[in-house]
Structure 1
């Protein structure tokens, strides 16, 4: 655990400021700079705002990404406020007429069209000014697969063509796909990228032959291994594989793999107990603050920070749970612990993405955690 995060956790605990999220902004900036360097310009990098939309996170990432990918009118308005001049791509399967109108007014760089009906609505709203779009394709290849509500199969894409023929001000630049969800190995993701690119470029060549330099947005999918928190996605290897695709201007949309590593959820142990042969550590807070392990079905990695405290000590294996009245309020099952006591601190790592913003904040109406951003100064703010 980084020393500055540990020090911040102890200061917050001493001030009665737990539970809390602690974000290491210098660490995030260094990681984003490394990703940008390893990608080497092979593909544009748009940060998927849904992973963590905090203004401090967006400002930290801004110098190291080419733009932001949003999936709602709320995210769009938020990004425009935080980074007014940022390039924006607007995705999402259920855009309302109001959101499409907002996207047109806000001047997003690319609208990702999800269906023929959405395209028809956009044509009506855009009027003479038109719009710049990518068609969201779901060809049923490995990865995203066919059984999702996202994008269009070949029949849906074909249904867009006559609409586009009658709407010359809707400027199609290529296709948007989504390779997969949370693939940790760069080689496997690269194989999917190659397969999708072959299909996409073939489709574009057959149906949009006027696009001499088509765009292909490969989405996200760069995974984070919660069982191996020190491992990172192989960006350089992925960039090398993408560089061999050729034939399109490429874009990727990482979210989790950019921000997960530089956020911690810090709390303290309220109680340790044994129940029906199983040991439990009951923590302040819980999955209403950090829903990630329940949503993804994994154990959240953590570090114990021991403090001088009285009471029983737990050594062996313990299940770390929160304060909610549900057996699903579990953050880590059967974790090895040594001398764990009430008052000790637990710092859950890999909590910088799909964490607080994903959680059901007000169940049982417990207090919200503090949100603190380390910026190189002594005290969290």
Structure 2
């Protein structure tokens, strides 16, 4: 045991990911397009797997734009994010960006200046922060004070600028109001609200949209039921798509494209974070399972304040000269190797048995895991990244 490093890795199922995304895209009604929101997981292997399956990538930085281009020169890219730099705008324009999602009046002017400087015309969608109200979800992007989008009351001013500024062509609106919504009916109600809002803006401003982006926000249920390593019921995409088809039939015919930009919903289920138990101990009547890893590898549970679902993979190999602590039939809190009590992956979860040397497998870890983590805090080694399955080419 002293001669090897403890198990610590992300494992991705590319074949399962491909099958899932094919089904998701195939269920979409005509005019609807699926863009992959790269912020969920931008590993090159993930991007190369998804590039031929989705209608394009949604990026939120110059770095993500470069990764999208590395995955495929011909992949359409739309550029969002609340704080774009002039350098990023120029880079995207010269790299053939399909369109920008504009977050403010100043950003409109910056895009105009970059477009003129590069001799290009930038297609833009105005991202509007609606007044709401919206369905309950884990994170609200609109209907409340946030840094996202143009306040609905300021839309007339932004619309005038978009029409007057050189190098800018307004082609529609972007509305992304929440994240991790698990209710298909609530999501349909939100899209219906978007339809009515945009139809009203078209009448008020005398324009006809080519493109409407209804954002992402379709969620993943991380709730852990009584069966270890399982999660609760997920968003019913098939039922949602069937109802969406009827709703899209009510959209104006000139809305030639209705874009979705999903991330978590596409990739979360196809990644697992596996980490070895280094110790099991009791402090003040509570049992702690200490693992090789933690929030510096997998920050999602800490960020969202939930106990992430995991299963225990027993490992029988253990040095006979070492004690082997365990916990059985009792609640345990899974913590990492960082010097902070906030390094928690799961709290008060009852396990049948867990011992030092066993491996915990955190499921549904394919989105917002490694990407949002503070990798180099305390300078611990990074986990391995293992990809199973076939990539195009």
Tell me if TM exceeds 0.5.
yes
TM-score, normalised on structure 1?
0.91
**Secondary structure in structure 1 of the residue aligned to 2:353:** strand
**Cα distance, 1:63 vs. partner?**
2.2
**Residue 344 (str. 1) matches residue 358 (str. 2):** yes
Alpha-carbon distance in structure 2 between the residues aligned to 1:195 and 1:36: 23
Pick from 351, 375, 379: which aligns with 1:365?
A: 379
**Cα distance, 1:237 vs. partner?**
2.4
**Cα distance, 1:169 vs. partner?**
4.1
CA contact (8 A) 2:109 2:165 kept: no
**Cα distance, 1:153 vs. partner?**
1.5
2:242 aligns to what? 240
Pick from 274, 287, 297: which aligns with 2:295?
A: 287
Matches within 5 A, 1:182-221: 182-207=180-205, 209-211=206-208, 213-221=209-217
Structure 1 residue runs of 5 or longer lacking an equivalent are 1-13
**Residue 134 (str. 1) matches residue 125 (str. 2):** yes
**Cα distance, 1:198 vs. partner?**
0.9
Pick from 294, 311, 325: which aligns with 1:312?
A: 325
Structure 2 residue runs of 5 or longer lacking an equivalent are 135-141, 225-230, 319-323
CA RMSD of aligned residues (A): 1.8
Alpha-carbon distance in structure 2 between the residues aligned to 1:15 and 1:258: 35
Alpha-carbon distance in structure 1 between the residues aligned to 2:189 and 2:44: 34
**Cα distance, 1:179 vs. partner?**
3.0
2:52 aligns to what? 63
2:307 aligns to what? 299
CA contact (8 A) 1:48 1:254 kept: yes
The number of aligned residues is: 362
**Residue 95 (str. 1) matches residue 103 (str. 2):** no
2:279 aligns to what? 271
Name the CA shift for 1:237/1:42 in 2 (closer, same or farther; >3 Å).
farther
2:12 aligns to what? 23
Name the CA shift for 1:232/1:19 in 2 (closer, same or farther; >3 Å).
same
**Secondary structure in structure 2 of the residue aligned to 1:142:** coil
**Cα distance, 1:376 vs. partner?**
6.0
Per-residue CA distance 1:148-194 (angstroms, 9 max, x = gap):
11111233321123323323642111000103111011111111111
1:6 aligns to what? none
Per-residue CA distance 1:326-379 (angstroms, 9 max, x = gap):
1111111111112211100101011100000110011111100011101169xx
Alpha-carbon distance in structure 1 between the residues aligned to 2:29 and 2:198: 23
2:342 aligns to what? 328
Per-residue CA distance 1:222-259 (angstroms, 9 max, x = gap):
00010152633221222233331412331111000000
Name the CA shift for 1:372/1:15 in 2 (closer, same or farther; >3 Å).
farther
Alpha-carbon distance in structure 2 between the residues aligned to 1:56 and 1:179: 29
Pick from 218, 225, 233: which aligns with 1:222?
A: 218
Alpha-carbon distance in structure 2 between the residues aligned to 1:154 and 1:340: 53
Alpha-carbon distance in structure 1 between the residues aligned to 2:29 and 2:356: 48
